[in-house]
Structure 1
Amino acid sequence: MMTPVEYDAYCLHDAMDGMGTTESTLIGIICTRNAKEKQAIKEQYKKAYKKDLEKDVIGDTSGGFTALLLELLKGEREQGTAVNQKQAQEDAKKLSGNGKEKKIDLNSKEFIEIMTKRNKAQLKATFEEYKKLMGHDIYQGIANSMSGDAEDAYIGLVTVVEDPVGFYADRLSRAFSGLGTNDSMLIRIVVSRSEIDLAEIKVKYKEVSGKTLRASIESECSGDYKKILLEIVGE
């Protein structure tokens, strides 16, 4: 069985291989891993596929989304939980055009710098200041600015900052919804979070879906793949 780093590299390659790109997978991995993990993923990607992850991102994405992912891959987000309220107010003004723009310029250098460099506590403060200025939250600002897979990816980016456990619980719920199960999403989350916060995700998943993660796997999966997931998830 692959290690979490090996599976992350595999999923990133799979998301960009062939026709089309799965933006939500790129965000789900690149945005949620810390600097050390991202470095390990880049090294594994190079080892497994004989090419640089950054070059594939450039080749398979475009515009501001490419710039955003490349900055995230650098792993330069500030650490710690210190909050500068004045900075949060200034950043909120940049995102909202001084409170005048309903749409957020997601391709702007300001947006990319704020989203990739500020620590998570600072970003939460910025989102609160944005809501005070605009009368709606950052999610609505993104929804006003685009739609489709790209919107989902940017919404995911904000959700990971505000509620990472909720982000994964929601993605697991999506993996089981509709016709068939999104096996790759299910495996990616369970494997990558198994040694980090899977216990918390299981609790949140039950709140969101009304059933345990184990029960969902037992009813929706089969074969060796099911056995492996159940071993990881436990009771």
Structure 2
Amino acid sequence: MKGFGTDEKALIRILSTKDPLQINTIRDAYSRLYRRDLVADIKSETSGWFETGLVALARGPLLNDVYLLREAMSGIGTKEKALNDVLLGRTNADMNAIKSEYHRVFHRRLEDDVRGDLSMKTERHFMIVLGAQRAEESAPVVKADVDRDANDLYRATEGKIGTDEMKVCSILSTRNDSQIRAIAYEYQQKFARNLEDVIRREFSGHMEDALLFQLRNAVDKYMHQATLLEDAMAGAGTKDYLLVSRVVRYHWDRNHMANVRGAYEKRYHRNLASRIKGETSGDYERLMLACIG
């Protein structure tokens, strides 16, 4: 980045291949050696979605998550999809780390900002999520509990007039992924209906999107993330903001990214790299391709 011009290829090569710990170490070493801020220097040397991607990488996953949340809630309206991406399906440890980092960086409570941006039952749903009361991933799947949850979901939706939204939100926000998978299977066996279809019929708007996100993330994480990548590219114009944040989020674990690529190919019968090439160009394209490996 020094002197005239920028070596974009070097920036891509260095930043797209590191794990979170290495990124933090590089950022600290850069600051120590040059008395400069790596993120600020990247911002002054690059532009557009290429800049957005490099900044997301240089911040590392936790810091980038809190900036995404702040941006999602700043200004007019809320970027609900960004809120879903960052907050839903996370472990309790992740959630507590996000809340604490958000407070450290912005001197504000994440719960207060989310409360100010969402309303009514969707706000209550996200308060449950932010409460970080999910069953730990190591918690067992107990048949009696799964039966009870499946029955409760039925009684809260198809089994009554009107919908008990908070009962559904509570179950999907406090069970771990294995438990949610078992509940979805049990529901299908018992009531001969797909839980996803039930949510679609009983809910709408942001709450529907959030519940479907929680369900799909638990049932098949890689396939869910493959569909989120396609969602960022489908239709007229690319939702670059989502494409960059999602590619960067999934790239931190190479094996994870390989599984997402495999799921994408299985679902859409095409290569993720060729799909991204069709939607991006220049250094932005090169950075996204480097991140997906």
1:90 corresponds, among 145, 148, 153, to 148
Quote the Cα distance in structure 2 between the aligned partners of 1:28 and 1:103: 29
Q: Contact conserved, 2:173 with 2:214, CA < 8 A, in 1?
A: no
Identity of aligned residues (%): 28
Change (3 A) 1:37 1:223: farther
Amino acid at match of 1:89: D
Q: Contact conserved, 2:122 with 2:206, CA < 8 A, in 1?
A: no
1:226 maps to what in 2?
Answer: 285
Give how far 1:102 is off: 7.5
Confirm or deny that 1:217 pairs with 2:276. Answer: yes
Q: TM-score, normalised by structure 1?
A: 0.88
Where do 5+ consecutive residues of structure 1 fail to align? none
Confirm or deny that 1:64 pairs with 2:121. Answer: yes
Where do 5+ consecutive residues of structure 2 fail to align? 1-57
2:33 maps to what in 1?
Answer: none
Give how far 1:48 is off: 3.2
Give how far 1:104 is off: 4.3
Quote the Cα distance in structure 2 between the aligned partners of 1:104 and 1:157: 18
Q: Contact conserved, 1:102 with 1:141, CA < 8 A, in 2?
A: no
Quote the Cα distance in structure 2 between the aligned partners of 1:40 and 1:226: 31
Report 1:52-131 matches (<5 A).
Answer: 52-79=109-136, 80=138, 82-97=140-155, 100-101=159-160, 104-106=163-165, 108=166, 110-131=167-188
Amino acid at match of 2:209: D
> Whose radius of gyration is greater, 1 or 2?
2
Give how far 1:169 is off: 0.3
Partner secondary structure for residue 3 of structure 1: helix
Report 1:84-233 matches (<5 A).
Answer: 84-97=142-155, 100-101=159-160, 104-106=163-165, 108=166, 110-196=167-253, 197-233=256-292
Quote the Cα distance in structure 2 between the aligned partners of 1:47 and 1:222: 36
- Following TM superposition, the consecutive aligned residue runs of length 4 or more in structure 1 with deviations greater than 4 angstroms are none
Q: Contact conserved, 2:172 with 2:211, CA < 8 A, in 1?
A: no
Q: Contact conserved, 1:96 with 1:102, CA < 8 A, in 2?
A: no
Change (3 A) 1:37 1:194: same
Quote the Cα distance in structure 2 between the aligned partners of 1:68 and 1:32: 13
Give how far 1:111 is off: 2.6
Change (3 A) 1:43 1:227: farther
Partner secondary structure for residue 59 of structure 2: coil
Q: Contact conserved, 1:5 with 1:192, CA < 8 A, in 2?
A: no
Quote the Cα distance in structure 1 between the aligned partners of 2:190 and 2:79: 33
Deviations 1:113-139 (A, max 9, x none): 322222222222222232234321111
Aligned alpha-carbon RMSD (Å): 2.1
Give how far 1:210 is off: 2.4
Quote the Cα distance in structure 1 between the aligned partners of 2:209 and 2:168: 17
Quote the Cα distance in structure 2 between the aligned partners of 1:94 and 1:10: 37
Quote the Cα distance in structure 1 between the aligned partners of 2:246 and 2:259: 13
Quote the Cα distance in structure 1 between the aligned partners of 2:74 and 2:155: 37
Amino acid at match of 1:215: S
Number of equivalent positions: 232
